[in-house]
């Protein structure tokens, strides 16, 4: 073993506290110091290992969060595409229904015009020909057509 000379304060004739220790006590002190340093080094190694584990968990957690955010962005983009497609379909359907409604209204106008013409013709025939058989047959046909047209109008409405 190498001996270590510790400095002593000047003017102190008694020396340092190590001078008063026995060799056995010094050996115990050195062993205890070595054990303490070894424990501190081991503790530092454990702390480093735990820090590394924590860093790995943090990295993995960040990667999972990034992946989750990416999946969420993809789902959101898909949802937006679906909503856009639904809006376009809705607009097309509304346009189609509007066009059909316009056609139906035009058809109703035409039918109403026909009904008005039948009414006029009916009135004309009644006034012109009185109670003749031929007039009655024409009148019955006109009434039949008028009722058929009215039924069509009510179905359209």
pLDDT tens-place values along the chain, 157 residues long: 445 444 444 444 455 666 788 889 899 999 999 999 999 999 999 999 999 999 999 999 999 999 999 999 999 999 999 999 999 999 999 999 889 888 888 888 888 888 888 888 777 777 766 555 666 677 778 788 888 888 877 777 6
Tokens of residue 91, six digits: 């607009």
| Cα–Cα dist 5/3, whole Å | 7
Burial track 17-56 (b if 16+ CB lie within 10 A, e otherwise): eeeeeeeeeeeeeeeeeeeeeeeeeeeeeeeeeeeeeeee
How many Å is the Cα radius of gyration of the chain? 54
Domain ranges of the chain: 17-156
Question: pTM to 2 decimals?
Answer: 0.44
């Amino acid at each position: 073993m190498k001996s270590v000379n510790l400095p002593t304060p000047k003017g102190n004739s008694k020396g340092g506290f190590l001078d008063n220790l026995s060799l056995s006590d010094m050996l115990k002190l050195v062993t205890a110091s070595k054990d303490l340093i070894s424990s501190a080094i081991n503790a530092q190694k454990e702390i480093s290992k735990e820090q590394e584990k924590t860093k790995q968990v943090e990295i993995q957690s960040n990667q999972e969060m990034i992946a989750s955010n990416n999946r969420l962005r993809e789902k959101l983009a898909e949802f937006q595409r679906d909503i856009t497609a639904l809006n376009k379909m809705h607009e097309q359907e509304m346009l189609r229904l509007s066009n059909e409604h316009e056609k139906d209204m035009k058809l109703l106008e035409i039918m109403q015009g026909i009904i008005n013409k039948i009414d006029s013709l009916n009135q004309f025939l009644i006034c012109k020909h009185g109670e003749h058989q031929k007039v009655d047959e024409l009148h019955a046909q006109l009434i039949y057509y008028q009722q058929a047209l009215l039924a069509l109008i009510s179905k359209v409405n």
